[in-house]
Chains A and B, each alone.
Chain A
Amino acid sequence: MADRNASMQMFRVDARPTWCPGCGDYTVLASLQKAVANLGLQPEEVVLSTGIGCSGKLSQHFGSYGFHGLHGRSLPIAQGVQLANPRLTVIAAGGDGDGYGIGLGHFLHALRRNVNITYIVMDNNIYGLTTGQTSPTSAKGFKSKTSPHGAAENPIRPLYLALSQGASFVAQAFSGDVKEMTEIFEAAIRHKGFSLVNSFSPCVTFNKVNTYDWFKDHLVKLSERPDYRPESHLEALSYIDQFGGLVTGIIFQQEGRRAYHEENLGGEEIMPFDSPVKMSNEEREKILSYYY
Chain B
Amino acid sequence: MERTWKVGGEQGEGIDSTGEILAKVLNRTGHYIFAYRSFMSLIKGGHTYYKIRIRDRPVHYHGDQLDILLAFDQLTIEMNWSELHDGSLIIYDDSKKGITPKEDKRLALAPIPLTHMAKELGNEIVKNMVACGASAAAMDLSLTTFEPVIEELFAKKGEKVVELNRQALRKGFEYYRENFRERFPLPPRGNKKLALVSGNEMTGLGALLGGCRFLAAYPITPATEIMYWMLRFLPNYGGRVVQAEDEIAACIMAIGANYAGVRAATSTSGPGFSLMQEAIGLAGMTETPLVIIDVQRGGPGTGLPTKTEQSDLNEMLYGSHGEIPRIVLIPSTIEESLHFTFHAFELAEKYQCPVIVGTDLYLGMSKKSSDSLDLSNYQVKRHSMVTQEELDRLEKGEYKRYNLGVENGISPRSIPGQRNGRYVALSNEHDEGDVEIEDPDLRRRMFDKRLRKLAGFDFGPESIEWIGEREGDLLLVCFGSPRVQLEEALDRLLREGRKAGLLILKVVKPFPAVRVKPYLERAKEVLVVENNGTGQLAQLLRQEVGHHDKIKSLLRYDGVPFTVQQIVDAVQGEKEALYHG
Contact = CB atoms under 8 A, between A and B. Distances in A.
Interface stretch (B131-139, B233-241, B323-331, B460-468): B233-241
A135 B445 CA distance: 37
Interface stretch (A69-77, A137-145, A239-247): A69-77
B248 interface: yes
Interface in B417-435: 417-428, 434-435
B475 to A, nearest CB: 35
B240 A49 contact: no
A106 interface: yes
A59 B424 contact: yes
B558 interface: no
B253 interface: yes
A60 interface: yes
A291 B375 CA distance: 14
B434 A288 contact: no
Contact of A80 (B196, B209, B214, B376): B214
A165 to B, nearest CB: 13
Given A80-B264, A84-B262, A105-B246, A67 B424 contact: yes
B211 A277 contact: yes
B529 interface: no
A76 B417 contact: no
B422 A63 contact: yes
Given A15-B435, A292-B194, A270 B214 contact: yes
Contacts of B205: 287
A271 B239 contact: yes
Contacts of B261: 84-85, 272-274
Contact of B258 (A49, A59, A75, A80): A80
A64 interface: yes
B249 interface: yes
B187 interface: no
B20 interface: no
Contacts of A63: 422
B373 to A, nearest CB: 6
Interface string A105-132: 1101100000000000000000000000
A255 interface: no
A271 B282 CA distance: 25
A167 B413 CA distance: 35
B245 A109 contact: yes
B436 A60 contact: yes
B257 interface: yes
A83 interface: yes
Interface in A85-114: 85, 87-88, 105-106, 108-109
Contacts of B257: 80-81, 83-84, 270
A284 B245 CA distance: 32
B193 interface: yes
Given A44-B417, A288-B373, A81 B260 contact: yes
Q: Which of B244, B250, B259, B385 has the most CB of A within 10 A?
A: B259
A43 B196 CA distance: 50
A76 B238 contact: no
A5 interface: no
A6 interface: no
Nearest to B380: A277
Contacts of A281: 375-376
Nearest to B194: A292
A45 B260 CA distance: 11
Nearest to A11: B422
Nearest to A42: B419
Contacts of A28: none
B413 to A, nearest CB: 10
Interface string B222-237: 0000000000010101
Given A60-B435, A88-B416, A76 B256 contact: yes
A68 B426 contact: yes
Interface in B394-432: 397, 415-428
A47 B373 contact: no
B201 interface: yes
Nearest to A284: B375
A162 interface: no
A106 B252 CA distance: 11
A106 B216 CA distance: 14
Interface in A235-292: 261, 264-265, 268-274, 276-279, 281, 284-285, 287-288, 291-292
B261 to A, nearest CB: 3
A184 B418 CA distance: 28
B425 A67 contact: yes
Contact of A270 (B196, B213, B380): B213
A66 interface: yes
B365 to A, nearest CB: 15
Contacts of A85: 260-262, 416-417
A65 interface: yes
Contacts of B435: 15, 60
Contacts of B244: 76, 109
Nearest to A77: B256
Contacts of B162: none
Contacts of A261: 240
A288 B202 CA distance: 10
B260 A273 contact: yes
Contacts of B214: 80, 83-84, 270
Given A76-B253, A80-B259, 16 more contacts: A44-B416, A60-B435, A66-B424, A69-B282, A70-B279, A73-B252, A73-B279, A76-B256, A80-B253, A84-B261, A84-B262, A88-B417, A105-B245, A270-B240, A271-B213, A271-B238
Interface of A: 14-15, 42-45, 47, 49, 52, 57, 59-60, 63-70, 73, 75-81, 83-85, 87-88, 105-106, 108-109, 261, 264-265, 268-274, 276-279, 281, 284-285, 287-288, 291-292
12 contacts: A44-B422, A60-B434, A67-B425, A73-B282, A79-B242, A85-B416, A105-B246, A261-B240, A270-B214, A273-B382, A288-B373, A292-B194
